[in-house]
Amino acid sequence: MKLLLSTPSLVHAAHCQNVLLAAGIRAELRNTWLSGAIGEIPFRESAPQVWLVDDEMETQAWAVLDAAANPAPGPRWQCRHCHEWHEAQFGACWHCGAARD
């Protein structure tokens, strides 16, 4: 196992783990309950961490996280059911739930 990242935010760490899992990269979240101990134990040891199960997936993991943080720009699209407009990165309508064509 390999430490991929450490962050002060449990929400950010959990989001990164979810993005990796959705891409088929196995990852574990650690230090989820230590935020209350920050100051008593060093930050590096108490911050939420994302660990890769397979060390050799590090390059792919960083690529997946980078792509999620910096989505490619594209044209807005309009839902064919309710005609609501959406940004390019969304795959379903927030209003009616219809999948993007």
Q: What pTM was computed for the model? A: 0.71
Other CB atoms within a 10 A radius of the CB of residue 82 amount to 12
Q: pLDDT tens digits, residue range 46-63?
A: 889 999 999 999 999 999
E-strand ranges in the chain read 2-6, 27-30, 49-52, 77-78, 85-86
Q: What percent of the chain has pLDDT over 70?
A: 92
Helices 58-69 & 10-22, crossing angle to 10 degrees? 110
- CA-to-CA distance for 15 and 38, rounded, in angstroms? 21
At residue 36, the pLDDT reads: 66
